[in-house]
Amino acid sequence: MEIRLLGPVEVRCGDVRLELGPRQQRFLLAVLALEANRLVPTDRLIDLTWPAGPPRTARHAVQVSVSRLRAALRAAPAGGSVEVLSRADGYLLATHPHHVDAHLFRSLVRQAHATPRGETRAQLLRRALSLWRGPALAGAGPPGSRDGLIRGLTEERLTAEEERVDAELHAGRHIQVLGGLLELVARHPYRQRFVAQLMIAQHRAGLTAEALTTYRRARSTLARELGLDLGPQLRQLERAILRGDPVLDHTPGTDAGD
């Protein structure tokens, strides 16, 4: 059984997707799954589900949602690996953490961090990032509560993307990452590490003029929209590109982006 939170909330058993019911029910499962094997107090579930103020029937509504979730999980073709347990002051989702994609993502990233730089690290990061199907908890729960719950995960996703690109550049795959980096910089223009990686990939691909244009565009965007200047690493990278510093050229075992 797979509980998927990195995109629309869903539960799958092989090719079968369970019917989890309305948005509020899916959000309840998501909250419990993010805290897999840890008690979530009922009061916290209520606060997250009704951030503007709960109705008088909120506690009963949580009980009903839990009951329906249990029925949905019991109906799974290969049930038994996930169970919602009641405690005196809350609920707990009992399951192996790797049955929840958010926990599997974090586990794979930790494995990558413990792996020497090379293809194995790149593979682990690619596998971790492949678990994402869109914004986490998409279509479930109140936007304010959802955004607060997934803020850390979203940042971890972007950091893992940066680390994956570093691994790809280290392996000499600057041509292969160019298209993806252009999209990442367009979506996240303030993340200077993506800008630096794009500049390095462009320079190594023989697109030095484009790399300098990327720098100027990033500097203009940051100044215009945030009133800030680029950091010292990007300024140093621009100077290195202008003088044709050979350290920027890819050599097996080195990476100017590190």
pLDDT at residue 250 tops 90? no
**181-224 per-position pLDDT tens digit:** 999 999 999 999 999 999 999 999 999 999 999 999 999 999 99
**104-154 per-position pLDDT tens digit:** 999 999 999 999 877 899 999 999 999 999 999 998 999 999 999 999 999
For CATH 1.25.40.10, list the domain ranges present in the chain. Answer: 172-258
Q: Residue 67: its pLDDT value, please?
A: 96
Q: At 16, which amino acid appears?
A: V
Q: Residue 124: its pLDDT value, please?
A: 97
Q: Tell the residue number behind the tokens 């990061």, with chain if given.
A: 125
CATH, domain 1-157, list 1.10.10.10, 3.30.565.10, 1.10.150.120, 1.10.443.10: 1.10.10.10
- If you average pLDDT over residues 158-172, what whole number do you get? 94
Q: Residue 254: its pLDDT value, please?
A: 47
Question: Are 201 and 177 a contacting pair, CB within 8 Å?
Answer: yes
Q: Residue 177: its pLDDT value, please?
A: 95
The residue with greater pLDDT, 44 or 256, is 44
pLDDT at residue 31 tops 60? yes
Which residues lie below 8 Å from residue 36, measured CB to CB, with a gap of 6+?
93, 94, 95, 97, 99, 100, 103
Long-range Cβ contacts of 75-79 (<8 Å, 24+ apart): 75/18, 76/1, 76/11, 76/13, 76/16, 76/18, 77/13, 77/14, 77/16, 78/1, 78/13, 78/14, 79/1, 79/13
- If you average pLDDT over residues 86-92, what whole number do you get? 94
CA distance 145 to 143: 6
Query: Tokens at residue 139, please?
Result: 């279509």
For CATH 1.10.10.10, list the domain ranges present in the chain. Answer: 1-157
Name the CATH superfamily for 172-258. Tetratricopeptide repeat domain (1.25.40.10)
pLDDT at residue 257 tops 70? no
Q: Residue 227: its pLDDT value, please?
A: 94
